[in-house]
A and B are shown apart, each in its own frame.
Chain A
Amino acid sequence: MSSFLDHCAIVGVGETAVGKVPDRTSIQLHAEAIRAALDDAGLRLRDVDGLVTAGSRVSPVLYHADVVAEYLGHHPRHVLTVNAGGSTSVAAIEHAAAMIGAGVCEVVVVAKADNLATGLGRDATVASMATIGHPAYEGPAGPTIPAMYAMVARRYIHEYGADVTDFALVAEIDREHARRHPAAQFRAPLTAQDVLGSRLVADPLRLLDCAPVSDGGGAVVLASAARARDLPKPPIRITGVGEHHGYEHLTQAGDLTVTGAAVSGPAAFRAAGLTPAEIDVAMIYDAFSFIQCMQLEDLGFCPKGGGGAFVREGNTRLSGRLPVNTHGGVLSFGHPGKPTGLFLVSEAVRQLRGEAADRQVAGAETALVHMEGGILASHGTLILAGDR
C-alpha cells in the first residue's frame, strides 16, 4: 500500500542542553537545536525549504516560526507555527512528511524549544499550564495539571485495580535509563520507594510521579527519499502515523481510562503493517508515571488493565521484551514543554541507527513513538523503521 510517508525520511535529529540552561533564551535554544539537527543530517541551513515550530510559552509571539526564520537569517518557502499540546511533534512531523510527499518541500525542519525552568520559573509555569481548564466551568475549582491527571489516575485505579507501586516503578526504570544518557536532566539513582516516599502533590500522584519543568530544545530534519539517499546517516523511515483528538477540556471527555492512544496506535500499526509484538523499542510520553501504564495498554502491548504488570515483569527495562524510554522518558530526561515529544523521536532515531551507546537496544529495527497532549486529550503515534 503506497503512502505519502514513502517519499520521505528522518535524516537528522538534535537537541540542546536540557535541564536548567540559564544563559539561553527560547529563540537561541531553537537556533541551537536546528543547528545540531542539520549538522547531524549533513545539511546546511540553505537546504531547508520548510520550517515548522510550535511557539514559546516563555516568549510568546504572534507568528512564531516566522520569527525563528528571521532570527536564523534564512527564509524557507514554507514556514508554519502549529500547536497540538504534547502531541504537537507527531502532528508536525506528519505535516512535514505530507509537504514532502506532495512535492511542495524537499527538506523540512521541525523545531521546538523553551526555557520554562529559568525563563518562566516553576511556579509561573504551573500557573500558566493550569489555564488549560475551561475558564468558566473548570478554572474556578483551581485544578492544577497534576490534579487533572490525578483524577484520571484515580479512576484508572478504581476501574482496573491499578497500583501506585507500579506507577512508581515506571519512574524508577526511566531513571535507570537516564543514568545511561549523558544529556539527561536527572541522573542520580532513584527507586520506586523514593517515589512512594515523596510528598503528595495531588492524590494519588506524588512529586516524583510528575515530570519536571525544564529548559531545552529539539529539532528533527525530514527530507525527500531521493535527498535522503545522499546523506551521511542512514535514513529512518516513517512507516506509520496515527492521531486522535478527543477533547480539550477534561469535563468534555467520556471514559477517562481508555485514551486516544487506542485509536492513534492501531491506525499507525495498520499503516505500517506491523503488530505491537513486532516493535523493538518504544518511546512513550510519560509526563506522569501512570500514563505510561495506560498507554502501553491502549497501544496494544498488553491487555487493558495489564500495564502495571507489564512494567513489573521487567518488559520495559533495557533487558526486557520492549525497552521503553531508553533516554529516561519525560520524567527523567527533562520536560521543557512541547520540545519533549521531539526528544522521544530523536531517541528512537538513535536506537534505529545503532547510535544509542550504553543504552542501545541490540538490533533495534522498529520503534514506536507515542505522545499525548492536554489531559490525555490529543494523541499521536509514529512507527519508525531503520534501514540497517
Chain B
Amino acid sequence: MSHHQSAPQAEPENLPFWEGAQAGELRVQRCQTCGHHQLYARLWCVSCGGRALTWTAVRPRGTVYSFTVVRRAPTAEFAADVPYPIALVDLDAGPRLMGHVVGCPVDEVTVGMPVGVRFAPRQGLLVAQFTPIGS
C-alpha cells in the first residue's frame, strides 16, 4: 500500500503520522524544547514556539472526552454505516483525536471511557479507531 492510498489527503507535513499508522504505531509531533505533543503537524510548537520538532511513537491509549452516534450520514459513502459512534478522544499523550468507536454496542459508549487506538483500513485508507479497554 503506498502512502497516497493510506493517507487521507495527507500533506507531506503529516506523512509521518500515516507512516506510523502503517507500522501500527501512533505517532505525534513532539517539541524538543518543552516536550509538548501536537497533532496536526506544524512548523513550530504551538505551546512554546520552539522549532525543533520530531515525531515520536506514543502509547495508543486515551479517554473519551465526548461522543455522539451519527444517525444521518453526511454523504452516501457513510450511509451503510449508520448508526455509528464518533468520539473525541484525549490521548494520554496529549492531543485529541476524532474517530469511530468499534468493539462495543453503539449505546455503550460513555464519556470518560478508556479506549485504545488502532488503525483500520477503510475504503483504501487507514483511519484511527477506538476500542474500549478495561480500566
Contacts and interface: CB of A to CB of B under 8 A. Distances in A.
Contacts of A201: 71-72
A150 B85 CA distance: 11
A126 B125 CA distance: 23
Interface in B23-78: 39-40, 65-75, 77-78
Given A142-B70, A147-B68, A130 B8 contact: no
B50 to A, nearest CB: 19
A134 B66 CA distance: 18
B7 interface: yes
Interface stretch (A152-160, A235-243, A345-353): A152-160
Contacts of A138: 98
Contact of A141 (B9, B14, B17, B99): B99
Nearest to A255: B65
A263 B122 CA distance: 40
Contact of B67 (A154, A250, A256): A154
B40 A136 contact: yes
Contacts of B69: 200, 202-203
A276 interface: no
B125 A154 contact: no
A150 B68 contact: yes
A205 B96 CA distance: 22
Contacts of B11: 136
A182 B98 CA distance: 42
A137 B75 contact: no
A121 to B, nearest CB: 13
Given A137-B39, A143-B86, A152 B74 contact: no
Nearest to B14: A136
A133 B10 CA distance: 14
Nearest to B81: A142
A126 B11 CA distance: 25
> What's the interface size class on A, roughly?
35 or more
Given A134-B40, A155-B111, A251 B70 contact: no
A136 B96 CA distance: 14
Query: Interface centre among A139, A140, A141, A151, by most B CB within 10 Å?
Result: A141
A189 interface: no
Given A127-B74, A142-B70, A150-B68, A137 B98 contact: yes
Contacts of A60: none
A73 interface: no
Query: Interface centre among A143, A146, A154, A256, by most B CB within 10 Å?
Result: A154
Nearest to A253: B96
Contact of B66 (A136, A144, A155): A155
A199 interface: yes
A135 interface: yes
A205 B69 CA distance: 10
A155 B122 CA distance: 28
Contact of A135 (B9, B78, B88, B128): B9
A224 to B, nearest CB: 41
Contact of B40 (A137, A140, A141, A203): A137
A90 B87 CA distance: 32
Contacts of A135: 8-9
A133 B98 CA distance: 10
Contact of B73 (A139, A144, A256): A144
B98 A141 contact: yes
B100 interface: yes
A258 to B, nearest CB: 14
B93 interface: no
A152 B98 contact: no
Contacts of B74: 126-127, 130, 142-144, 147
Interface in B76-112: 77-78, 81, 84, 86-88, 95-100, 111-112
B102 to A, nearest CB: 11
B70 A158 contact: no
Interface in A209-239: none
B127 A144 contact: no
B114 to A, nearest CB: 15
A236 to B, nearest CB: 39
Contacts of A199: 71
A251 B98 contact: yes
5 contacts: A136-B18, A140-B99, A141-B127, A142-B81, A256-B66
Interface of A: 126-127, 130, 133-144, 146-147, 150-152, 154-155, 158, 199-205, 250-253, 256
Given A136-B7, A137-B40, 4 more contacts: A141-B99, A143-B74, A202-B68, A251-B98
- Please name the 5 residue pairs, one residue from A and one from B, whose CB atoms are nearest each other, closest first: A150-B68, A130-B74, A142-B78, A155-B66, A151-B66
